Amino acid sequence: MKNIVILISGRGSNMQAIVDAQIAGANICAVIANRPDAAGLAWAAERGIATAVLDHKLYAGREAFDAALAALIDGYAPDLIVLAGFMRILTAGFVNHYAGRLINIHPSLLPAYTGLHTHERALADGVKIAGCTVHFVTAELDHGPIILQAALAVLDDDTVASLSSRMLEQEHLIYPQAVRWFVEDRLKLINGRVHVDSPAPAAVLIAPPVL
């Protein structure tokens, strides 16, 4: 059994997808938010999952907040920490403390479009394929070893809202899958790259039919 702590800042839709997946061997022992009004807290509590709030606004800086967050997380003896819409840039000390057991999902095909406003930037550039990426977190923002990706064909009439909505559906598929592989000890970090014990697809491509 692997203990998993999930960090959120809002409704935590990816957190919900992971919980709903009912992954064998996964013990979702806590959901922690940095915002007291995070809607995902009530959802988790209704399902009997322990919840906690650590308001980042009450701390003098990132280092102080991250130290308090790590102390809170470590109380659950986690094997894996999952960032599910956790809108904080984490310090190198925090990330290194959880090296190899801290994962995130990003709404682009990394290493493209790191940071914010990924869909706006992709549409502005006229890309034909967009996607999302589950990766291990490192001190360099959105550059950790890639675990799994999903890709979508960008439609001619896509807007930021429509592309984001369709992409979220893919996030809800690949994030639980990545967590499942971790729980099953199928992920290996070798020379900075992720190897998944077979059988396992490296990516999922979802595209409209060619007319």
The answer to whether the annotation marks 198 as part of a ligand binding site is: no
pLDDT in the model for residue 95: 98
Among candidate residues 33, 62, 45, the one with its CA nearest the CA of residue 139: 62
pLDDT in the model for residue 210: 38
Confirm whether 106 is a catalytic residue.
yes
The answer to whether the annotation marks 35 as part of a ligand binding site is: no
Beta bridge partners of 63: none
- The model's pLDDT over 137-147, given as tens digits with 9 standing for 90+, comes to 999 999 999 99
Rg (CA), the chain: 17
| H runs (alpha helix) in 29-91 | 40-46, 62-74
The answer to whether the annotation marks 72 as part of a ligand binding site is: no
Mean pLDDT over all residues of the chain? 94
Which of the residues 106, 119, 135, 172 is marked catalytic? 106
Answer whether residue 6 shows pLDDT above 60.
yes
Distances (CA, A) of 165 to 11, 127, 162: 15, 17, 5
The CA-based angle 139-141-147, given to 5 degrees, is 90
pTM (whole model) above 0.75:
yes
CA distance 2 to 24: 9
> What average pLDDT score do residues 32-60 get?
98
Window from 30-44, 76-90, 189-203 with minimum mean pLDDT: 189-203
Q: How many CB atoms lie within 10 A of CB 103?
A: 24
Instruction: Tell me which residue has tokens 């995130």.
Output: 104
CA distance 165 to 151: 13
CA distance 110 to 119: 13
- The model's pLDDT over 89-106, given as tens digits with 9 standing for 90+, comes to 999 999 999 999 999 999
The answer to whether the annotation marks 88 as part of a ligand binding site is: yes
